[in-house]
Amino acid sequence: MKRFFDSELETFRSDLLRMGEVSIRQVREAIKALVEGDIGLADQVIAADDELDELEKRIDTEAIRYMNLRAPIATELRLVIVGMKASHDLERVGDEATSIAKRAIRLAAEPPLKPYVDIPRMAAIAIEMLRDALECFVHADKEKAIAVVKRDKEVDAINKQLYRELSSYMVETPSTTTRALELMFISKSLERIADHATNIAEEMVFLYEAQDIRHEESLKKFGKVD
Partner 1 sequence: MDTPAATPASRTFNVPATASAADGAQTLIEIDSFDFYYGAKQALFDINLRLADKRVTAFIGPSGCGKSTLLRCLNRMNDLIDGTSVKRGNVKIRGIDIYGRDVDSIELRKRVGMVFQKSNPFPKSIYENITYGLRIQGVKSKARLDEVVEKSLRGAALWDEVKDRLHESGLGLSGGQQQRLCIARTIAVEPEVILMDEPCSALDPIATAKVEELIHELKKQFTIIIVTHSMQQAARCSDQTAFFYMGKLVEFGETRDIFMNPKNPQTEAYVSGRFG
Angle formed at CA 56 by CA 55 and CA 62, multiple of 5 degrees: 85
Shortest spacing between CB 190 and partner 1, in angstroms? 39
> Alpha carbon of 76 to those of 66, 70, 137: distances in Å?
10, 10, 13
Question: Left (φ > 0), alpha (ψ -120 to 50) or beta: where does 37 sit?
Answer: left
Q: Which of 221, 169, 202 is nearest to 85 (CA)?
A: 202
Among 13, 70, 131, 188, binds partner 1 (CB under 8 A): 70
Q: Closer to partner 1 by CB, 43 or 76: give it.
A: 76
Amino acid at 200: I
Q: Which of 124, 119, 129, 125 is nearest to 196 (CA)?
A: 129
Q: Is 4 in the site for partner 1 (CB under 8 A)?
A: yes
Among 1, 74, 109, 117, binds partner 1 (CB under 8 A): 1
Coil/strand/helix, residue 117: coil
Stretch near partner 1 under the rule CB under 8 A, chosen from 60-68, 190-198, 200-208, 210-218: 60-68
Shortest spacing between CB 71 and partner 1, in angstroms? 5
Among 69, 171, 210, 225, binds partner 1 (CB under 8 A): 69
Shortest spacing between CB 124 and partner 1, in angstroms? 43
Binding site for partner 1 (CB under 8 A): 1, 3-5, 64-65, 68-71
